[in-house]
A = this chain, B = another copy of it.
Amino acid sequence: MTDDYFMGRALQEARAALAAGEIPIGAVVVLDDRIVGRGHNQTERLRDVTAHAEMLALTAAANHLGNKYLTGCTLYVTVEPCVMCAGASAWAQLGAVVYGAEELKTGFRRFGDLLHPRTALRGGVRAAECAALMQSFFRAKRR
């Protein structure tokens, strides 16, 4: 099981968001090669700015595992997390965060290292596919 494979599962979630008229971002949480939580952006449907893909996936994983700490888990998300989701990832003490496309404006990285010191960070996994989904959404919005 590779980063590419699990990013593909996050991309499936992102496509579900797109089909529902949401900004197409998807996430999965993986422990020992098994998906223990997933989510896609639902800020419109739930009318809730906190309903980002990552937040829903982290909450789902904690529910599934019965543990609020997700040590040893990896969060895969199609777009670089925002400050809120980076903060949530820090509290969860994730083993790793892996994102697809970078997000220069709202991504957390320009605010410094907001993740837990023990959380590894990898970016750029299937970035072109992740970015293409976002571009198609915003292009359609502008029409």
CB-contact partner of A84 in B43, B62, B67, B91, under 8 A: B91
A68 to B87, alpha carbons, bound, how many Å? Answer: 20
Given contacts A111-B114, A114-B111, contact A68 B83 (CB under 8 A): no
Binds B, one of A7-15, A45-53, A119-127: A45-53
Contact pick for A83, options B43, B62, B87, CB 8 Å:
B87
Q: Which of B48, B69, B86, B112 contacts A59 (CB 8 A)?
A: B48
Q: Which of A80-113 contact B (CB under 8 A)?
A: 82-88, 90-92, 111-112
Footprint of B on A, CB under 8 Å? 43-44, 46-50, 55, 58-59, 62-63, 66-69, 82-88, 90-92, 111-112, 114
The residues of B that contact A68 with a CB separation of less than 8 Å are 43-44, 46-49
In contact, B83 and A114 (Cβ under 8 angstroms): yes
A69 to B50, CA, bound (A): 11
Residue on B nearest A81 in the bound complex, by CB: B87
Give CA–CA (A66, B63) in the complex, Å: 27
CB distance from A42 to the nearest CB of B (A): 11
Among B55, B62, B83, B91, contact of A86 (Cβ-Cβ < 8 Å): B83
Nearest-CB residue, chain B, relative to A82:
B87
- Tell me, in angstroms, the Cα distance from A55 to B83 when the chains sit together: 14
